[in-house]
């Protein structure tokens, strides 16, 4: 069943209000001079726009992301919307207007450097504010009020940004604004509503009318921006790195993690800003967030195109493992600091160590109270070792997301999935002893309902760690709970879960999808922390976490999941076919029939056999069909004799078939 986004229980999503463009790339040896015509080596059109890029980046980092913007009625609109949807961005707040979709001409030179010309189009065609009516819909305003952060840029009118910032600030939601996209000054009223302003060096110079050709001067210019009302200033300095100026705290410097080969820098700034926003909502410290953003930007510049080059979380975490923490907390501006910046180091480490930062775990200024402890990703160095028993389609689906969050995955299956495991970065075993000797912290039982008991009894659990956490992901709950409590040693922890989605419904995003769970038997202290960190794998993706007993789950599941499967299978048995006069409702029925045929009968049989409430629901369904038939045939007596005879004859003919 589809739900409106406003009805989804998504915890602290990132909301991007901004621009969406079609980027028309032309590769040239050099820029033309005035009056000159030159030939391009190649050209292509790719999705882009600062707002769309940042939304796509956040979504590809597996964070729940919503985009608010405008497109036109043209082919470019389909290009960019399809790209955003493929990245996992929610598009319910994208409006279509009577203007062409925004587009940009990107002149790409050797070495990845670029020059860009923007045509605003639909991005600048927002309605005028009249009679106090908001440019943002009521639904968009409600979305902003429950966001973890709002991300803005300057490729849409400042008035729209101001309205979004006011709504966010009124709800205590941090506002991060990329200063790129327009050359004019930023209105002071808008700056007063911005938590973090992120300019590059040239944008900072334009904003302050101050030089920015050394770190000392950059810090002075950033201080001036703070005087305008901005709490924090995050300056992007390209291959030199970045620096965060935050209140009275010493500035934090993060060197760039330089790519071996730079192909295209177009999306690097957008990637950096969006990644930093995601990291902060996830409660990483400012220093950790800078490092996370630096890694994401480093991956981005290695491919052509802004949006197509946005990295996935797994790649970012892998790069972070390869580059030790190198951020620096800077002393007040002095000659030494200037030399520090001007030394363009090539290895991603600080050229001169000025002062090693004291690590802090508190949230950055302006981000207090925006996320619960269960909403941040586990740090790379704290990754869990998670075993998956049953590495079929669903096991692989889970493994990909778990690996993407920096955890180590070990898989066990009778079938040979070595190639899939290698692609996902998973250690794979077909021998149960070898699997148990890996000593995972957590074991997920992902076998089918029918085979779970046999598989569980086959595990030499004495080879596992004595406090291993066992988790099931079955569609019934009372059955695995009883198995775990009967078969497993009493010192093992037990968590029963039901992620109510799969590879199809959860392909793009897990945001808003329900996960039902019961902490059946969990030890205290570190063992409870481990359980919560496992649940974090889902909650950090925006899943709707529902805690209830296994018995209560099965009552609800029989009335929803089992009946859904039953109706789908009944429709499949009817062999329905498409007609030249299909209605929308009939097409929905055809899709349900296809769904029933696609699911394995073993799954359906398991839902029936191992949920004690299923028989009662099946009887209710049969009773409902019988009552409906009785009601229909009861009306025959009210028709004329000839009509009644005709209907009775047709019923008899069908009964004989």
Q: Do 626 and 614 contact (CB within 8 A), yes or no? A: no
Please give the DSSP secondary-structure letter assigned to residue 561: I
Asked whether residue 472 is marked as a ligand-binding residue, the answer is: no
Dist. CA 29–CA 47, nearest whole Å: 23
Asked whether residue 247 is marked as a ligand-binding residue, the answer is: no
Asked whether residue 121 is marked as a ligand-binding residue, the answer is: no
Asked whether residue 122 is marked as a ligand-binding residue, the answer is: no
In terms of Cα–Cα distance, which of 233, 273, 258, 264 is closest to 58?
Answer: 273
Asked whether residue 82 is marked as a ligand-binding residue, the answer is: no
Backbone phi, psi, residue 38, to 5°: -125, 160
Asked whether residue 270 is marked as a ligand-binding residue, the answer is: yes
Asked whether residue 236 is marked as a ligand-binding residue, the answer is: yes
Asked whether residue 374 is marked as a ligand-binding residue, the answer is: no
Backbone phi, psi, residue 603, to 5°: -60, -50
Asked whether residue 68 is marked as a ligand-binding residue, the answer is: no
Asked whether residue 52 is marked as a ligand-binding residue, the answer is: yes
Asked whether residue 303 is marked as a ligand-binding residue, the answer is: yes
SS3 sequence of 576-594? CCCCCCCCHHHHHHHHHHH
Q: Do 221 and 204 contact (CB within 8 A), yes or no? A: yes
Asked whether residue 309 is marked as a ligand-binding residue, the answer is: yes
Q: Give start and end residues of each alpha helix (H) in 464-558.
A: 478-487, 526-539, 550-557
Asked whether residue 123 is marked as a ligand-binding residue, the answer is: no
Q: Do 108 and 139 contact (CB within 8 A), yes or no? A: no
**What are the residues whose beta carbons fall under 8 Å from the beta carbon of 448, sequence distance 6 or more?**
390, 600, 602, 603, 606
**What are the residues whose beta carbons fall under 8 Å from the beta carbon of 641, sequence distance 6 or more?**
none
Asked whether residue 431 is marked as a ligand-binding residue, the answer is: no
Dist. CA 231–CA 194, nearest whole Å: 7
Asked whether residue 49 is marked as a ligand-binding residue, the answer is: yes
Residue 30 tokens, joined: 């050099």
Asked whether residue 512 is marked as a ligand-binding residue, the answer is: no
**What are the residues whose beta carbons fall under 8 Å from the beta carbon of 23, sequence distance 6 or more?**
45, 46, 47, 48, 49, 103, 104, 106, 266, 305, 306
Asked whether residue 111 is marked as a ligand-binding residue, the answer is: no
**What are the residues whose beta carbons fall under 8 Å from the beta carbon of 313, sequence distance 6 or more?**
60, 61, 62, 404, 405
Asked whether residue 181 is marked as a ligand-binding residue, the answer is: no
Asked whether residue 393 is marked as a ligand-binding residue, the answer is: no
In terms of Cα–Cα distance, which of 446, 522, 463 is closest to 490?
Answer: 522
Residue 450 tokens, joined: 């029918």
Beta bridge mates, 246: 232, 249
Q: Is 270 a catalytic residue?
A: yes
Integer distance in angstroms from the first to the last C-alpha of the chain? 36
DSSP letters along 133-177, please? Answer: --SS-HHHHHHHHT-SEEEE-SSS-HHHHHHHHHHHHHTT--EEE
Dist. CA 48–CA 266, nearest whole Å: 9
Asked whether residue 51 is marked as a ligand-binding residue, the answer is: yes
Asked whether residue 43 is marked as a ligand-binding residue, the answer is: no
**What are the residues whose beta carbons fall under 8 Å from the beta carbon of 310, sequence distance 6 or more?**
53, 56, 57, 60, 87, 267, 271, 300
Dist. CA 278–CA 310, nearest whole Å: 14
Q: Do 119 and 103 contact (CB within 8 A), yes or no? A: yes
Asked whether residue 240 is marked as a ligand-binding residue, the answer is: yes
Dist. CA 170–CA 145, nearest whole Å: 8
Q: Do 472 and 553 contact (CB within 8 A), yes or no? A: no
Q: Do 518 and 496 contact (CB within 8 A), yes or no? A: yes
Asked whether residue 239 is marked as a ligand-binding residue, the answer is: yes
Q: Do 160 and 187 contact (CB within 8 A), yes or no? A: no
3-state secondary structure of 168: helix
Query: Could you say which of 270, 441, 493, 554 is catalytic?
Result: 270
Asked whether residue 57 is marked as a ligand-binding residue, the answer is: no
**What are the residues whose beta carbons fall under 8 Å from the beta carbon of 152, sequence distance 6 or more?**
16, 17, 18, 161, 164, 165, 175, 176, 177, 178, 194
Residue 473 tokens, joined: 């992901």
Question: Which long-range contacts (C-beta less than 8 Å, at least 24 apart) are formed by 652-656?
Answer: none
3-state secondary structure of 445: strand
Which residues participate in the annotated binding site for substrate? 21-23, 49-53, 155, 270
Which residues are designated catalytic? 270
Residues making up the annotated binding site for ATP are 200, 236-241, 269-270
Binding region for K(+): 264, 266, 300, 303, 305, 309
Q: What residues form the annotated binding site?
A: 21-23, 49-53, 155, 200, 236-241, 264, 266, 269-270, 300, 303, 305, 309
């Amino acid at each position: 069943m589809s739900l409106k986004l406003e009805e989804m229980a998504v915890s602290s999503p990132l909301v991007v209000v901004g621009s969406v463009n079609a980027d028309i790339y032309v590769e040239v040896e050099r820029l033309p001079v005035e009056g000159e015509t030159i030939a391009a080596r190649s050209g292509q059109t790719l999705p882009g726009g600062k707002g769309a890029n940042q939304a796509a980046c956040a979504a590809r980092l597996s964070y729940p992301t919503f985009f608010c913007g405008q497109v036109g009625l043209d082919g470019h609109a389909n290009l960019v919307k399809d790209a955003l949807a493929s990245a996992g961005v929610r598009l319910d707040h994208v409006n279509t207007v009577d203007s062409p979709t925004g587009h940009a001409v990107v002149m790409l030179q050797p070495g990845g450097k670029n020059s860009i010309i923007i045509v605003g189009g639909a991005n600048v065609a927002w309605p005028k504010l009249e009679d106090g009516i908001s440019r943002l819909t009521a639904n968009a305003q409600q979305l902003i009020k429950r966001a973890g952060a709002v991300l803005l840029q300057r490729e849409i009118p400042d008035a729209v940004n101001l309205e979004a910032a006011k709504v966010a600030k009124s709800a205590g939601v941090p506002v991060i604004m990329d200063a790129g996209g327009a050359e004019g000054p930023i209105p002071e009223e808008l700056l007063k509503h911005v938590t973090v302003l992120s300019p590059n060096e040239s944008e900072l110079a334009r904003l302050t009318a101050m030089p920015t050709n050394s770190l000392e001067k950059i810090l002075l210019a950033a201080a001036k921006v703070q005087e305008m009302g901005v709490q924090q200033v995050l300056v992007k300095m390209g291959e030199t790195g970045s620096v965060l100026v935050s209140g009275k705290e010493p500035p934090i410097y993060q060197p760039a993690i330089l790519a071996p080969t730079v192909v295209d820098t177009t999306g690097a700034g957008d990637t950096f800003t969006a990644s930093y926003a995601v990291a902060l909502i996830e409660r990483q410290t400012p220093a950790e967030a800078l490092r996370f953003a630096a890694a994401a930007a480093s991956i981005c510049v290695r491919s052509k195109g802004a949006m197509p080059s946005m990295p996935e979380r797994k790649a970012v975490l892998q790069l972070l493992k390869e580059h030790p923490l190198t951020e620096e907390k800077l002393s007040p501006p002095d000659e030494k600091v200037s030399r520090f910046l001007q030394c363009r180091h090539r290895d991603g480490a600080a050229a001169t160590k000025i002062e090693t930062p004291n690590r802090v775990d508190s949230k950055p200024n302006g981000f207090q109270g925006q996320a619960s402890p269960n909403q941040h990703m586990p740090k790379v160095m704290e990754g869990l070792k998670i075993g998956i028993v049953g590495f079929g389609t669903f096991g692989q689906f889970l493994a990909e997301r778990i690996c993407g969050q920096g955890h180590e995955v070990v898989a066990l299956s009778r079938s040979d999935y070595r190639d899939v495991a290698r692609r996902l970065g998973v250690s794979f075993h077909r021998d149960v002893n070898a699997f148990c000797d890996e000593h995972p912290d957590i074991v997920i039982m992902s076998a089918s309902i029918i085979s779970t008991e046999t598989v569980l009894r086959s595990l030499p659990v004495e080879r596992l760690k004595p406090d291993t956490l066992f988790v099931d992901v079955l569609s019934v709950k009372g059955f695995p709970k009883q198995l775990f409590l009967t078969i497993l040693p009493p010192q093992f922890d037990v968590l029963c879960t039901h992620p109510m989605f799969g590879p199809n419904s959860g392909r793009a995003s897990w945001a808003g999808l329900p996960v039902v769970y019961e902490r059946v038997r969990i030890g205290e202290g570190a063992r409870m922390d481990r359980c919560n960190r496992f649940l974090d794998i889902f909650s950090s993706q925006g899943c709707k976490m529902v805690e209830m007993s296994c018995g209560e789950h099965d009552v609800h599941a029989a009335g929803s999941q089992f009946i859904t499967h039953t109706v789908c299978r009944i429709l499949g048995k009817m062999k329905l076919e498409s007609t030249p006069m299909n209605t929308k409702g009939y097409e929905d029925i055809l899709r349900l029939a296809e769904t029933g045929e696609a699911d394995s009968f073993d799954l359906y049989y398991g839902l029936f056999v191992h949920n004690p409430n299923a028989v009662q629901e099946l009887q209710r369904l049969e009773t409902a069909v019988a009552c409906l038939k009785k009601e229909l045939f009861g009306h025959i007596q009210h028709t004329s004799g000839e009509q009644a005879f005709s209907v009775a004859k047709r019923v008899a003919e069908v009964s004989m078939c």
